[in-house]
Structure 1
């Protein structure tokens, strides 16, 4: 397909995800909406729908209805697409098969890369005649593998966004050098992620790896109010080992003995729920730590506004969107010195501690409890200023749209 130099003012792109929508993936939904406001038509494709329970947010429910799911087509449809690709364009199929074999060797798995090839064949045929001139994937894992193979089979140019942490931790199995080589460009959400991609994929790819931050629609964060003087905190995210919510009970147990009004609300759910509940019971903190489950975006914003600060004691992250949301609502943040977090958070807008250090986490919570209203307000204002300067979704969407147009009109790597 030929590139479309007018993609920023009415072009048509496909967004390709592994699972979409998901409660923790609102940043993708916002990005799509911002592109559509710029006149870019976006078609949603995903391998599968979220199976973690009923979607809570009405906007996620709408996105589910708007998404075409590849795996729901069934094995027969994917097998027919694979056979058609092999027989109708044998040279392109051979090129894609070589890339699939490389993926197989890196992953130590024969079956999954062949499944990716079948999914890519189906997608390439689905996109024919659609007017779609570019495919963009989020996360550099299987969706990007499918986008790459689709391109090698004759489909549109592709790009992908890398967030971390899991996709970077799995780098030896992901063949990033291959995925970057065939891509039009790669978006890294932080300088940290870009540096990791250069290390993993090779510095020769530096010109095609851009930092394009995730962002917020600041119109959704216009409500402002003073932070509570009560020691109330909120933690938002999937309950999982990476987010390290299990550390919170031990960290606050001594504080709670001296401060009966201490409250920490955990919004989210996940595989660590039972472990966290056991830790809460162990330290007798049932009155102090509340597990609320998933909530829609409006409720999350309301709970952040009702808190003194956001608490996120993560072991592994990219750059959490909820930190941006807290800052946009002028609430300081307590989090950890990992990955891209220090690019946004420092002592001017919150507390940043070593990951896994319960004493340092406890000290930060104590300091947040004791901070004066003036200090909390100043930190919140600084956070808001940083979001306005660095994480406006319309600005990020403009960068993406321009990159789509520039990349799609450029000659593609023939290798």
Structure 2
């Protein structure tokens, strides 16, 4: 019998995490029951398009329930199984990061876990899967201890790798039924912070895209660079703006469109004042709107200082758009330097400028990179294929016959 799965993350749905939404849709298309849970309710400004609004309406919000009568009902239900509740309490205490504030948060996570446990039992859900294994991963771990319902999680990075001991990544891996790592790099980090006895349950499941969504005629004209991502320091946008300043002399019609929002937006807009007429900040856009922008783009640029394996790079390559990105984390597992794009050192404005100049100046090179990039995404990052592999993991572990391979047969 297939497991009935609850998906938990900190905020769902969200414009920056559409890959989770695609994964849920892919599992449902395969006939699995998947119900979504979110610790917090995402603001409506983060919902782009009718698909996300529909997902938001059907999602259980843990914190809202915890601030209602359901918290009392959840703990009353938990005390009917006092042994399990006390085990969860001991686990919360033992895995607390230390310090008064962090300890208080740990008990908030325990309360949220009780509310989630009550919901899972009421809905007859038999497996809990978590994305972004930080605070919501702690809630999932405590909920599993409280209920006996097994859990798994998808490991992204990079931020959790900065503080693996704070977030007790070792304990989460040890207790999980399996871990879906988004790249070989993410898996290597999980191996660094876990006992070798658990390495066999560390599988690689790519975040994927639907290549058909991006298989449209390219109508780009002129020189148009595209950035899609959160406007935060880690994304390295000032380096891109510095490179733009020197590129404009050779490409006077050059445009840069920045899709996204975040804490650095106002500062970046001020920084780009001298590039007025060449740089546009357009905020969040839906998947269809991003796909339309990709059809106009000459190249997609992602000058990040830290990443996991960015889905936007997959989207660009699926649309036959060359990418220029930094050589960090798992990016080289997707982008082959000189074949489907260019990889440059993070923080190197001169190197970024040179890579962009090369691509902007050679249409034949762009066409070849576009074709190679799409072939790579179709072969290894198709969301339907990745959902089928994830479903195989859910069902295999549930049935006691887990797959022994890192990737599905024939996958890289």
Q: 1:260 to 1:47 in 2, by over 3 A?
A: same
CA distance in 2, matches of 1:205, 1:117: 25
> What are the residue-to-residue correspondences of 1:155-166 with 2, within 5 Å?
155-166=148-159
CA contact (8 A) 1:137 1:161 kept: yes
**Residue in structure 2 matched with residue 35 of structure 1 by the alignment:** 27
SS of the residue 1:327 aligns to? helix
TM-score by length of 2: 0.93
Equivalent residue for 1:359, pick from 346, 350, 353: 350
CA contact (8 A) 1:245 1:313 kept: yes
Q: 1:411 to 1:343 in 2, by over 3 A?
A: closer
CA contact (8 A) 2:133 2:153 kept: yes
The question of 1:26 aligning with 2:18 is answered yes
Higher relative contact order (CA 8 A, sep 6+): 1
**Residue in structure 1 matched with residue 302 of structure 2 by the alignment:** 312
Equivalent residue for 2:391, pick from 374, 396, 401: 401
**Residue in structure 1 matched with residue 244 of structure 2 by the alignment:** 252
Q: 1:94 to 1:410 in 2, by over 3 A?
A: farther
**Residue in structure 2 matched with residue 277 of structure 1 by the alignment:** 269
Instruction: Structure 1: state its 5+ residue gaps.
Output: 1-5
Q: 1:275 to 1:313 in 2, by over 3 A?
A: same
**Residue in structure 2 matched with residue 126 of structure 1 by the alignment:** 119
Equivalent residue for 2:93, pick from 86, 101, 115: 101
**Residue in structure 1 matched with residue 191 of structure 2 by the alignment:** 198
CA contact (8 A) 2:13 2:56 kept: yes
CA contact (8 A) 1:106 1:175 kept: no
**Residue in structure 1 matched with residue 406 of structure 2 by the alignment:** none
CA distance in 2, matches of 1:118, 1:74: 7
**Residue in structure 2 matched with residue 264 of structure 1 by the alignment:** 256
Q: 1:196 to 1:363 in 2, by over 3 A?
A: same
CA contact (8 A) 1:280 1:286 kept: yes
CA distance in 1, matches of 2:199, 2:58: 35
SS of the residue 1:15 aligns to? strand
**Residue in structure 2 matched with residue 332 of structure 1 by the alignment:** 322
SS of the residue 1:120 aligns to? helix
CA deviation after TM superposition for structure 1 residue 400, in Å: 1.1
The question of 1:295 aligning with 2:285 is answered yes
The question of 1:44 aligning with 2:50 is answered no
CA contact (8 A) 1:227 1:377 kept: no
CA contact (8 A) 1:16 1:136 kept: yes
**4+ residue segments displaced more than 6 Å:** none
Equivalent residue for 2:72, pick from 65, 80, 88: 80
CA distance in 2, matches of 1:44, 1:54: 17
| More moved, 79-88 vs 160-169 | 79-88
SS of the residue 1:257 aligns to? coil
**Residue in structure 2 matched with residue 369 of structure 1 by the alignment:** 360
**Residue in structure 1 matched with residue 138 of structure 2 by the alignment:** 145
Instruction: Structure 2: state its 5+ residue gaps.
Output: 403-412
CA contact (8 A) 1:85 1:153 kept: no
**Residue in structure 2 matched with residue 231 of structure 1 by the alignment:** 223
Equivalent residue for 1:181, pick from 160, 174, 182: 174
CA contact (8 A) 1:81 1:118 kept: no
CA contact (8 A) 1:133 1:408 kept: no
**Residue in structure 2 matched with residue 14 of structure 1 by the alignment:** 6
| More moved, 188-197 vs 47-56 | 47-56
TM-score by length of 1: 0.92
CA distance in 1, matches of 2:398, 2:98: 28
**Residue in structure 1 matched with residue 203 of structure 2 by the alignment:** 210
CA distance in 2, matches of 1:410, 1:100: 28
**Residue in structure 2 matched with residue 110 of structure 1 by the alignment:** 103
CA distance in 1, matches of 2:77, 2:114: 6
CA deviation after TM superposition for structure 1 residue 231, in Å: 1.6
CA distance in 1, matches of 2:149, 2:339: 45
CA deviation after TM superposition for structure 1 residue 107, in Å: 7.2
